[in-house]
Amino acid sequence: MSRRVVLLRHGRTSWNAVHRVQGQAESELDDLGRRQAADAARVLARLEPAALHSSDSLRARQTAGFLAEVAGLEVRPDPRLREYFLAERQGLTHAEYAALAPEEFEEFRRGNFDVVPGGESAEEVAARMVEAVADLLAAVPDGGLGVAVSHGAAIRDAVPALVGWPVTERAVLRGLDNCAWVVLDALEPGAPLRLTAYNRTVTPA
C-alpha cells in the first residue's frame, strides 16, 4: 500500500507581512498566521495523519502545534526541514536588499536563492529535505499519511528532487502561500514520489 506525505508551509509572520527576508532567522506567527494555521489544522486533521514532523524554527513549530492539538499528535522537530540559510541577507527588507545588491535581488526575487553570498545552495537544501521526508515516510504505516511543516522555498525546491526531476526544474514552480501545502504519494519504496497537489489552501469562508 502507498503512503502519502503533506508538506505544509508555516503561517504568516510579521516578517512576511513587511517583506523581510527570513531564512533561518526566527520570527513568530502574527494574528493572521495563527488563524491560517488553525484553519489548515482543521482540514489536515480530517486526513488522520499518523506522524507530524516540523522544522525546528519557531514559526514552523507554532504552525505544527495547531495540528498537533486537533490531531492528537506529538511534533517531532527536524532541523533538516529548515528554510534556506541566507547568511547576511537575513533580516533585510526587500527594499533594503534591492538597494544593496539590485541584480542579485532580482535573481532572488525570481526564486534563485543560489545567488546569496554564503547561503545554502538549492542542491544542499533539496538533499536535506529529501532525507527528512524519507524519515517521515518511514514513520508512517502502509496506507497512512505524514505531515511535515517546513518553509516556502525549501518545500518548492525539494519537490523536483522528490519526484525525480533535476532541482533546476524548481523554476517552473511558484512559491507556496502561507499555510499552503503540497501532497505527494509514495507508491513504491525507493521510487520517486508522485505529485498529487501543489499550493493547496483552505478555501476562505
Annotated catalytic residue: which of 10, 53, 120, 151?
10
Is 90 exceeded by the pLDDT of residue 188?
Answer: no
Closest CA to 158 of 146, 145, 174, 170: 170
> pLDDT tens for residues 3-18?
999 999 999 999 999 9
Closest CA to 16 of 124, 153, 147: 153
pLDDT of amino acid 204: 56
> pLDDT tens for residues 67-76?
999 999 999 9
Per the annotation, the verdict on 53 as an active-site residue is no
pLDDT of amino acid 20: 98
Q: Interior CA angle at 128 toward 126 and 130, to 5°?
A: 65
Q: Mention every residue, 6+ apart, whose C-beta is less than 8 A from residue 118.
A: 87, 88
> pLDDT tens for residues 115-172?
999 999 999 999 999 999 999 999 999 999 999 999 999 999 999 999 999 988 998 9
Is 50 exceeded by the pLDDT of residue 205?
Answer: no
* Mean pLDDT for the chain overall: 96
Per the annotation, the verdict on 83 as an active-site residue is yes
